[in-house]
Structure 1
């Protein structure tokens, strides 16, 4: 456990080992939550927004003819490839 001192402005320095382990860099937003007489601090992870076209090419179908996403059965494709990861 590390001990730090609160400044006159209410600021603290997060120890380097903790910053590195959690990936806290300048500009990282932190969420503070009061739990009884303790403070829980969590880095807020940004959710990267994606567009439908970002997924282009992820699914491949070797069958001839025009195919639609509705025709694709993920479970069947996994059985065919032997990929049983969740």
Structure 2
């Protein structure tokens, strides 16, 4: 546990070891929440934008002939993919 001092402006310095471990760099946005009598500070992670084409090949179907999106049960495919990894 580290001890820091709050400045007159309400600022504090996050120790370097913690910044490195959490990937906090200049400009990183932090979420600050009050939890009872404590303050919780968490780095906000940017959500990477994706395109529909990024999901190409995620679902496969062994049925012959023409297939349609309605033929796929996404929940079952995800469960089966998870079971295959175990």
Q: State whether TM-score is above 0.5.
A: yes
Q: Runs of 4 or more off by more than 3 Å in structure 1?
A: 60-64
Name 2:84's counterpart in structure 1.
83
Count of residues in Structure 1 that have an aligned counterpart in Structure 2:
83
Counterparts of 1:66 and 1:26, CA distance in 2 = 52
The Cα offsets for residues 26-68 of structure 1, whole Å up to 9 and x where unpaired, read as 2211111122332111111222232222212223345543222
Aligned to 1:39, the other structure's residue is in SS state strand
What is residue 70 of structure 1 aligned with on the other side?
A: 70
> Where does structure 1 lack aligned partners over 5 or more consecutive residues?
none
Q: CA RMSD in A?
A: 2.7
Q: Which consecutive unaligned segments of at least 5 residues does structure 2 have?
A: none
Counterparts in 2 of 1:84 and 1:73: CA distance versus 1, 3 Å: farther
Which structure carries more helix by proportion?
A: 2
Q: Partner residue of 2:13?
A: 13
